[in-house]
Amino acid sequence: MQAADVRARLVREVRELRSWRALVPVICLIAGFGFATSARDSRGTELRAPGTANLADLVTQAEARVRSADKTVAGLQAQVTAAATQAGQNNGGVAAAQHQVTPLVDPGGLSAVRGPGIEVVLDDASSVPAGVDANQALVHQSDMQAVVNALWAGGAEAMAINGQRLIATSAVHCVGPTLLLNGEVFSPPFRVAAIGPSRTMQKRLDASPGVQLFKQAASYYGLGYTVENVGRLDLPAYTGPITLTYARASGK
């Protein structure tokens, strides 16, 4: 390397060093201002409290708020039903509209139903075998969807999972080891209750590739899978919103 090149490099390094020295007081001033602001806002407490930083606590708190909101909604729905009934008795137009809607209530899952059917229970493995990926010991979204689709295909007239009614817009969605259904979170075991022809539904379960795959995994990894014919199932009415929140019909 030529002497001129060495000298030029040294000059650049000196300039860079001087620039950083000039910035150090500014950085310290900004940091000090940030520390002072944090101390003022926290008033001697933790800005990130353990209960707030813990995701499990956040989920538990959210579930409690959802349950409270569900109770409020149920009370309001009861008031609306009573007001609608009263309006139908006093107004011919309202009575005619209600007469048109009534046949759609049961197929839409908006009323409680009772009848014989089948109950399928899926559960995580109680322990993870040595050398096995932990995900293999969990019930997955595809497993739940396979069971639900097979039951619908087998002629199920009504269905619920862990007491939560399924309707046409219900989506079976798993988040980690939990099930998210109609805005509520459920933990295993997952009980899928379906009212309908038990024999036909059982045949569809046996013929479903997804269900067969889960049964194989259950026998190998220790997952839980049981099917039982039930003489009487009581399924609740769907109480959530029935309008689409995000989907919109395209204008033509």
- Spell out the domain ranges in the chain: 1-47, 63-105, 113-235
Half-sphere exposure of 143 (CA within 13 A, CB side): 30
Local structure of residue 134 (DSSP, 8 states): G
Q: Would residue 196 be called left, alpha or beta, if left means φ above 0 and alpha means ψ between -120 and 50 degrees?
A: left
CA 198, 202, 204, 208 torsion-angle sign? positive
Tokens describing residue 124: 């995580």
pLDDT tens-place values along the chain, 252 residues long: 444 454 445 445 545 544 544 444 545 445 555 545 545 444 554 444 444 446 667 767 777 887 787 778 777 777 777 887 777 787 777 777 767 767 767 777 788 999 999 999 999 998 887 888 888 899 999 999 999 999 999 999 999 999 999 998 888 888 878 898 887 889 999 999 999 999 999 999 999 999 999 999 999 999 999 999 999 999 999 987 777 666 666 765
CA 201, 203, 208, 212 torsion-angle sign? positive
Helix-strand-coil percent breakdown of the chain, rounded to 5?
Answer: 55, 20, 30
Q: CATH assignment of 113-235, given 3.30.70.100, 3.30.70.270, 3.40.50.300, 3.30.70.1880?
A: 3.30.70.1880
Question: Is 197:154 a contact under the CB 8 Å cutoff?
Answer: yes
- The β-bridge partners of 186 are 179
Which pLDDT score is estimated for 113? 94
Please enumerate in sequence order all residues whose Cβ is within 8 A of that of 186, keeping only pairs 6 or more positions apart, or say none: 161, 162, 164, 178, 179, 180
Residue 99 DSSP SS3: helix
